[in-house]
Amino acid sequence: MDEKTTGIVSYIGPIGLIIAILMDKEKSPFTRFHIRQSLGICLTWIAIYAIVIILSNIIGFMGMFLSLAYVIPLIMWIMGLIGAAKGEMNLVPVLGEKFQEWFKSV
């Protein structure tokens, strides 16, 4: 797979992320950039899910309105996927810079 395709695959959920990591034998900077962004988005999604579940149990039905927070990682995912498809290394909004910092060993 070329690096652009591998970058796109990294945004196809956790399985795509694993495939992208395994397919990037040359450790391409482009692919690694998108792997870090995708990993950060997946973990953000999981964190928001956990927070929504916990708060829904604490404050009841009103906590379900917190599920609107899922829009943030969705927008991040769309922008990351579009960037990979265009062959660009644009940081996703909000946490993109932090993802590069936190996951620099990936």
pLDDT in tens, 49-103: 888 888 777 776 666 667 677 888 999 999 999 999 999 999 998 899 999 999 9
Q: How confident is the model at residue 62, as a pLDDT? A: 62
Q: What is the CA radius of gyration of the chain?
A: 15
Q: How confident is the model at residue 18, as a pLDDT? A: 93
Tally the domains of the chain. 1
Q: 15-19, 41-45, 67-71, 84-88 — which is least confidently predicted? A: 67-71
How many whole angstroms separate alpha carbon 16 and alpha carbon 94? 23
Q: Which two tokens stand for residue 90?
A: 């644009």
Domain extent, residue 8, equals 3-102
Q: Do residues 56 and 66 touch, judged by C-beta distance below 8 A?
A: yes
